[in-house]
A and B are shown apart, each in its own frame.
Chain A
Amino acid sequence: MGAALPETAPSRLFLSGNEAVALAVRDAGCRVAAAYPGTPATEILEELSRFPDLYTEWSVNEKVSLEVALGASMVGARAFCAMKHVGLNVAADALMTMTVTGTEGGLVIAVADDVGMSSSQNEQDSRFWARFAHLPLFEPADAQESYDMAREAFAVSERFRCPAIVRMTTRICHVKGRVVAAEREAHEPAGFVKDPQRWVMVPGHAKPRVALMYEREEALRASSAQSPFNLLVEGGDRRIGFVTSGPAYMHVRETFPEAPVFKLGQSYPLPLERLREFAAGVDQLLVVEETEPLVESELRAAGITCAGKDVLPRVGELSPDRLRPAVARLRGEEVPATAQPRLVPQQVFPRPPTMCVACPHLGIYYTLAQLRNLTISGDIGCYTLGAGHPWNALDTCISMGASMGVALGMDKGRGPADAKKAVIAVIGDSTFMHMGMQGLLDITWNRGNVTVLLLDNRAVGMTGGQDNPGTGRDIHGESAQRVDFAKLCEALGVKKERIHTLDPYELPTLFKTLREEIKVPEPSVIITDRPCVLIDDYKPTQPYKVIADKCTGCANCIDVGCPAIHVTRRETQVKPSGKEVELAFVRIETSACTGCGLCVQPCAPEAIVHALPEHPVKFLHAKI
């Protein structure tokens, strides 16, 4: 069991939910922590990697990270794993059997739901997994609770010998608040005990353990009824009693300070009898949960009358603004438009995320946009932005690695309408290793006619440039084994002559190779090998400027899509033939330009030349 270390924790910390979980994991004496980056959970492992006290790794995907954590738990070490909501889909295969084997050293999984979808392909409610896998579930409402519950999750995991899930949301992960840490514990791994009935999940061994899993769930139910994280906050206005969890709790308390609230912290299994008692003391019960009506359905199934998603929005965060009218409706009151009079929001242009100045993906999408008769199966990463303006050169985005299988299916399923179209798959280095390699193997084995663009920018770009097996560095930036993508693709069955490694800034070579490969009716891989501009591997060179007198307004450079190119004026020119041509004259924001030269290549009048860097004029990209 735990023993307090002499070091005393600092008393006043200002931490995000992610940072708080990381500190709790360290303080709980965790020995092994693994994750694959994913917004909004990425910072948990980044923070953990800074502590010298434990082993941390970026794993190639979430399933592997959970298996690493399980292995550590099997030998008796405390183990931890973090992921975004869609990551747990990937890890689910491992999860659904480790709930049967159970765990030895405390094993905690932090899963972060992107409620409101600020950076994800879907919105999911990970609380389902606790029910599906019959596991204890914690739902912190702020950074302090993230710390406290992550600590408690280790204890509960060890008490019941099963993984425990801490469910966070974007509004927990990225919100900073004051945190008081508790005393650190030390845990020595007890050692692996060979026990095939426990760890070798063949049917004969699994059957009795499934029964044990259900027994454990009943024990967890009894424990959750006693949990201090399931608490009643008294209130005088008993017209509506709220049952709520996670960040929604704070919004409820903020908006209805006089109302009684049952706050669910250890929210699965539900403390049903305490909730029944609570319901009896209020006129109406309203369940405020993000995002699915889970608690609501379980209350109804237990015969407890309540309102929930019938009055509240089903999608997104339940902020005070969205709670107020719903509660008014439930009370049968006039729906107040807003709490106070307020200004009308002004219409301003949208500012969608863009690719960076000099991003190596710019040349890829410029080239793809020039080619006709392509169907482009995309994947998850910065390069998904290729679906936007000005390229419009990405046709699908589903899940990690899906570009491969989707492309193969498009190839095999196509009819006369698509017979003349080439099928392209676009995938990044990290996504390829996460879940794309198997898809490529399927393409080669089944003789698919797909041209794969493997964009190796030596980073997990979208989440902030984390390392992966293709960067040659580990989580600490230390030198590590670096995968050779050309050899890997060859090993996966792509013919050597169909594998090309190119510089994505050399547009003519890229264009020529792509055009040749899409004509060849067998799998090809074009690997591009220049680093993400946001990582240290990228070296800026001399910036460019536009000689205004030479610019003819052809706008070819705008098609590159670099944010450093700005239009100075537009004109409509009538050609001798009578045809109208729209001209756009440009300048380059030299202080932002890093000299990649992509815009120089399509510039017909050679109006783009090197500029001596004058003094930079914006602090927009300054990092202080």
Chain B
Amino acid sequence: MTITNIAVCGIGGQGVMTATEILAEAALSLGFDVKKTEVAGMSQRGGVVTSHLRFGPQVLSPQIMPGEADLLVGFEAAEALRWAHMLKPGGVALVNQGRFVPPVVTIGLYDYPTDPIGEMRKLGLAVFDFDASALAMRLGNIRLGNTVMLGAMSDRLPFPADVLRNAVLERFGTRKPELLELNRQAFELGRAAVAEPAPAQAIA
């Protein structure tokens, strides 16, 4: 059996590392060897965060090389475009439509891409995009966005979605039992959001 490579990207404070951690726990629970590495230079200051997760019978290098990711998960639209080349040609990307505009764009030094998700599709990638914040707000709690993202990943993994759901509920449910049911629903919303191509229009 080969190694599965998942690249997760976003910006500091979005929960990229927590999400990858939960994904790692799911893979560990099945007995895989797992390595997880971050590139998060000064991530607490709004910088770029990428997290690499590799699992399989035995994992040596923790780094995914460009062109070798099976799945790219983008917590922010322009970040997904920035890391699109991590994917295998024709690979699958799950992208939150949310945008986080940095000060260098605000003050006019650079432009934010007009349609980052469209540009990814032009590269020949299979892109599933959705508004994780809006989905979380449907359940009345913005903090469920992370669980929405995890739900979106759950049917794209080489193991059943239940395994990831259990890892999510174990992580969040044990800390705040009252949030257990909400997390369960957020997970399913994320899952449904990527069940069909271009589901974003359906979520008004």
Contacts and interface: CB of A to CB of B under 8 A. Distances in A.
A175 B36 CA distance: 6
A219 B203 CA distance: 71
B181 interface: no
A178 B34 contact: yes
Interface string A553-569: 00000100101011100
A349 B28 contact: no
Nearest to A14: B28
Nearest to A385: B45
A39 to B, nearest CB: 8
Given A14-B28, A176-B36, A558 B106 contact: yes
Interface in A113-150: 118-119, 142
Contacts of B146: 619, 622, 624
B66 to A, nearest CB: 6
Interface in B70-89: 76, 78-79, 81-82, 84-85, 87-89
Contacts of B11: 351, 620
Interface string A240-259: 00000001001101110000
A435 B48 CA distance: 31
B198 interface: no
Contact of A390 (B76, B85, B107): B107
B177 interface: no
Contacts of A255: 61
B89 A561 contact: no
Given A566-B101, A567-B108, A619-B14, A343 B67 contact: yes
Contact of A14 (B14, B25, B44, B85): B25
Contact of A178 (B33, B41, B43, B46): B33
B119 to A, nearest CB: 7
A462 interface: yes
A353 B47 contact: yes
Contact of A343 (B45, B85, B100, B104): B85
Interface in B34-75: 34-48, 59-63, 65-68
A447 interface: no
B137 to A, nearest CB: 7
Given A251-B61, A623-B15, A618 B100 contact: yes
Given A349-B112, A351-B102, A621-B13, A177 B35 contact: yes
Max count, chain A CB within 10 A of own CB: residue among B45, B59, B105? B45
A349 B65 contact: no
B102 to A, nearest CB: 5
Interface residues of A, number: 63
Contacts of B46: 351, 353-354, 356, 563
A615 B137 contact: yes
Interface in A244-300: 247, 250-251, 253-255
B61 A566 contact: no
A622 B143 contact: yes
A389 interface: yes
Interface in B96-138: 98, 100-113, 116, 119, 123, 125, 132-133, 136-137
- Interface range on chain B: under 10, 10 to 19, 20 to 34, or 35 or more? 35 or more
B106 A345 contact: no
Contacts of A534: 44
A119 B41 contact: yes
Interface stretch (A60-68, A333-341, A416-424): A333-341
A341 B67 contact: yes
B195 interface: no
Contact of B66 (A338, A352, A353): A338
A207 interface: no
Contacts of B98: 618-620
A444 B88 CA distance: 61
A248 to B, nearest CB: 10
A348 interface: yes
B84 A346 contact: yes
Contact of A618 (B40, B41, B66, B133): B133
Nearest to B68: A340
Given A342-B85, A563-B46, A618-B133, A354 B28 contact: no
A512 interface: no
A624 B172 contact: yes
Contacts of A622: 13-15, 142-143, 145-146
Given A14-B28, A618-B133, A342 B89 contact: yes
Contacts of A353: 12, 41-43, 45-47
B136 A619 contact: yes
Nearest to A356: B45
Contacts of A624: 15, 18, 143, 146-147, 172
Interface in A602-624: 615-624
A435 B64 CA distance: 40
Nearest to A13: B28
Nearest to B22: A624
Contacts of B164: none
Contacts of B81: 346, 348
Nearest to A534: B44
A498 interface: no
A570 B45 contact: no
A584 interface: yes
Contacts of B119: 346
Contacts of A351: 11, 46-48, 79, 102, 104
Given A321-B65, A342-B67, A353-B45, A175 B35 contact: yes
7 contacts: A118-B41, A177-B62, A251-B61, A346-B81, A351-B11, A385-B45, A622-B146
Q: 5 closest A-B pairs (Cβ-Cβ)?
A: A342-B67, A619-B145, A353-B45, A118-B41, A349-B110
Interface of A: 12, 14, 118-119, 142, 171, 174-178, 247, 250-251, 253-255, 319-321, 338-346, 348-356, 382, 385, 389-390, 462, 464, 534, 558, 561, 563, 565-567, 570, 584, 615-624
Given A171-B63, A621-B13, 7 more contacts: A177-B59, A247-B62, A250-B62, A346-B81, A349-B111, A566-B106, A618-B133
